[in-house]
Structure 1
Amino acid sequence: MTVTLADVAARAGVSAATVSRVLNGNYPVAASTRGRVLRAVEELEYVVNGPASALAAASSDLVGILVNDIADPFFGILAGAVQAELSGASGPGGEKLAVVCNTGGSPERELTYLTLLQRQRAAGVVLTGSASEDPAHARALAAGLARLSGAGTRVVLCGRPAQAAGAEPEPGSRAEPDSRAEPESGAEPECGAPLTTLAFDNRGGAQRLTGHLIALGHRRIGCVAGPAGRTTTGERLAGHRAALAAHGIEDAPRRVVHGAYDRGSGYDAAVELLRRDSELTAVVAANDTAALGVCAALRDRGLRVPEDVSVAGFDDLPFSADAAPALTTVRLPLAEAGARAGRLVTGREERPPGGRATLPAELMVRGSTSVRYP
């Protein structure tokens, strides 16, 4: 009688997915687990199905990189750094093929791309930028990540909060853990490849940025927030409000306007803020691109930056230091984060403790902010 993968899994006390990972070498497995699987293979004289194995291996060169807007330098830097690491990969498997998937910020497109990457048996997936805060989407995303993880795909969340692949798997699915196996102490669960998160300190960075303006004497501070319902927007707005609260400054809703992360939205938001409160002395923008729009709107109304109104951005994109005046902003380590995500998704860097790391946000003080005199 032909010995199957399921027979080996039963003998070793693990899931079929774990047996597959040991035989294909496409994901790290605890040494003791690997030993049990190899002993079961030898005892049962299991013979790997060559054509099927080759078919599975043929798709292991693919890594998907999901971005909200490839035209935005924020995502371009991240994706470029990930791809550079994939093209320079050495060792088992060698270079990987990077496929950049532009979601346009659509939660539906995000889920569609995850499904397509699962069908292609992608070796890895890197999700970058903010996520939708909609609970229904969060559940659907968790289910999609669980399916990818259960199939052995490495998933790295880069620049977004931790997201557990916590959906209940369907009975018999590849994401379903093997109830017969006892997890080893300190080992990852047998249900699939664990998720890794590289988050940015958006809240802390925004709090320091607004705190810097307050220290300069500003009290009437407008905020051009990002799109409503996105995690990055929520984190940065929370940091801004925390700084106001820490100094006893009113958190006036009229001083917050939401918009996209682009120049036009920054311009329109600044116009609206000035309509609501013509006495504003400073504006913090959702990102550096929106900050340029804010500066343009102020100039068009005869206001000087920073003499009349100070302006600050976020991200420290390449043009920020060359703007006139140079933008005060918060520097995020975009290139470093992308490179690290590339190493993590190919297994060339060890996961951080608990699978999560928060990357620092550094305040960069430049010429677009100045002291506010009474």
Structure 2
Amino acid sequence: MAVTLADVAARAGVSAATVSRVLSGNYPVAGATRSRVLRAVEELEYVVNGPASALAAATSDLVGVLVNDIADPFFGIMASAVQSEMGPEKAGGKLAVVCNTGGSPQRELTYLTLLQRQRAAAVVLTGSAVEDPEHTAALATRLRRLAAAGTRVVLCGRPPLPEADGEGADGPGTAAPGAPDSTADAPLTVAFDNRGGARRLTGHLLSLGHRRVGYVAGPAERTTTRHRLEGHRSALADHAPELLADVERLTVHGAYDRSSGYDGALELLRREPGLTAVLAANDTVALGVCAALRDRGLRIPEDVSVAGFDDLPFSADAAPALTTVRIPLHEAGARAGRLALGRESAPPGCVATVRTELMARASTAPPRAGGAN
């Protein structure tokens, strides 16, 4: 039997009129009440039917672009590139709206619900995903509803959902048990080769002779963090397996920001005063690492080599120029925009993997005898 508005009202402990107000979005409703109603909608998988359903199936000219932090150049570049494919000068131009989640999983889900209500033509989700089974399930449900309503969904810079990637990798894999046999309704994915890039970056430091290597990683619950750490440890296993015994001690986690790089570098020096190289979660974190090393009177790269990830615009102009891994963010964002508008054919298996490139610059060099002091 189909779930009714009354069923949702009963589950949420409110009136049917309140449920209607929450779903229409046209009337003010207390935040706690709205959350209860939306949770009931989610749990019961309630879908509006009848004439309202027909209306919801028609999409608007709105495209939602979800980012973790629009002030971060990583996300700003991708959002700008997506938007460049939507402008009024383009045939069938759309209105691209950037939704800043602040890294909050709940806010991500809320924006997706709001975009479904607005009958968005497309949604592009950028950046890493949170590795939490409950959130992943809720996210998959939201995206299925968007697709059912005619919204095209593209993931950019994050791995496919489990239904499209049974092995949890950056590329296509075997469908998870119970997943649909067809990928026709799966989100299109522009994934980054984070593992391969990190493997090359660590291999570069090992080839220079570094054996006391610290890592300032990103948030532990993020897919990008895990994939880059896996690439780092894969390089150690291949070229210097004896270093794996110390890898946990020489890894610290923090946010993807400068202050985390600063604090993380000081903690690594406390744990290993003879450190000769530091890998950073991204280029912004690397700037914080460099600042901490200088404040300790250490030279880069003479005393300690530093490497980042992403190749953001400031990386080549840092002093010294930062060794990093280049992700073609603008090209990836533009491709996501074209896929979102149906201007480019879907890649095989609905997943395209963007290759990364090692950019060896002046911030890395062979370690001097004795290491850091």
CA distance in 2, matches of 1:153, 1:122: 6
Q: 1:284 to 1:188 in 2, by over 3 A?
A: closer
Q: Which runs of 4+ in 1 moved over 4 A?
A: 50-57, 186-189
Q: 1:188 to 1:298 in 2, by over 3 A?
A: closer
CA distance in 1, matches of 2:90, 2:313: 30
- Return the TM-score normalized by structure 1: 0.77
CA distance in 2, matches of 1:229, 1:188: 27
- Equivalent position to 1:330, from 325, 328, 335: 325
Q: 1:143–1:165: 8 Å Cα contact kept in structure 2? A: no
* One-letter amino acid of the counterpart of residue 204, structure 1: G
User: Alignment identity in percent?
Assistant: 70
In structure 2, the residue matched to 1:81 is: 81
* One-letter amino acid of the counterpart of residue 63, structure 1: V
In structure 1, the residue matched to 2:229 is: 237
Q: Provide Cα deviations, 1:320-374, integer angstroms capped at 9, x if missing partner.
A: 0000000000000100000000100001111111110110010000000001244
* SS of residue matched to 2:76: helix
What's the offset of the Cα at 1:151? 1.2
In structure 2, the residue matched to 1:222 is: 214
- Equivalent position to 1:208, from 176, 182, 200: 200
Q: 1:281 to 1:109 in 2, by over 3 A?
A: same
Aligned positions of 1:14-163 closer than 5 A: 57=58, 59-87=59-87, 90-91=90-91, 94-163=92-161
Q: 1:206 to 1:65 in 2, by over 3 A?
A: same
* SS of residue matched to 2:85: helix
What's the offset of the Cα at 1:150? 1.2
Q: 1:217 to 1:227 in 2, by over 3 A?
A: same
Q: Provide Cα deviations, 1:296-316, integer angstroms capped at 9, x if missing partner.
A: 000000000000000000000
Q: Provide Cα deviations, 1:96-146, integer angstroms capped at 9, x if missing partner.
A: 001101011111111111111011110000000000001111111111111
In structure 2, the residue matched to 1:301 is: 296
CA distance in 2, matches of 1:187, 1:134: 25
Q: 1:145 to 1:52 in 2, by over 3 A?
A: closer
- Equivalent position to 1:267, from 262, 269, 281: 262
2:187 is the counterpart of 1:195: yes
Gaps in structure 2 of 5+ consecutive residues:
1-50, 165-179
Q: 1:145–1:165: 8 Å Cα contact kept in structure 2? A: no
CA distance in 2, matches of 1:267, 1:249: 28
Q: Provide Cα deviations, 1:254-303, integer angstroms capped at 9, x if missing partner.
A: 10000111111100000000011101100000000000000000000000
What's the offset of the Cα at 1:194? 3.7
2:274 is the counterpart of 1:279: yes
What's the offset of the Cα at 1:246? 1.0
Gaps in structure 1 of 5+ consecutive residues:
1-49, 167-182
In structure 2, the residue matched to 1:33 is: none
CA distance in 1, matches of 2:204, 2:346: 34
* SS of residue matched to 1:249: helix
What's the offset of the Cα at 1:164? 4.9
In structure 2, the residue matched to 1:352 is: 347
Q: 1:291–1:313: 8 Å Cα contact kept in structure 2? A: yes
Which has the greater radius of gyration?
1
What's the offset of the Cα at 1:163? 1.1
2:311 is the counterpart of 1:319: no
* One-letter amino acid of the counterpart of residue 123, structure 2: V
Q: 1:333 to 1:88 in 2, by over 3 A?
A: farther
CA distance in 1, matches of 2:367, 2:106: 45
Q: 1:219–1:249: 8 Å Cα contact kept in structure 2? A: no
* SS of residue matched to 1:125: strand
* One-letter amino acid of the counterpart of residue 235, structure 2: A
Q: 1:60–1:123: 8 Å Cα contact kept in structure 2? A: yes
RMSD value, Cα: 2.2
CA distance in 2, matches of 1:334, 1:187: 29
Q: 1:373 to 1:351 in 2, by over 3 A?
A: same
Q: 1:52 to 1:213 in 2, by over 3 A?
A: closer
Q: 1:165–1:195: 8 Å Cα contact kept in structure 2? A: no
CA distance in 1, matches of 2:342, 2:229: 35
CA distance in 2, matches of 1:145, 1:76: 23
* One-letter amino acid of the counterpart of residue 262, structure 1: D
* One-letter amino acid of the counterpart of residue 249, structure 1: E
Q: Provide Cα deviations, 1:230-252, integer angstroms capped at 9, x if missing partner.
A: 00000001111111111223222
CA distance in 2, matches of 1:164, 1:156: 15
CA distance in 2, matches of 1:209, 1:144: 36
* SS of residue matched to 1:250: helix
Aligned positions of 1:249-264 closer than 5 A: 249-251=242-244, 252=246, 253-264=248-259
CA distance in 2, matches of 1:54, 1:230: 37
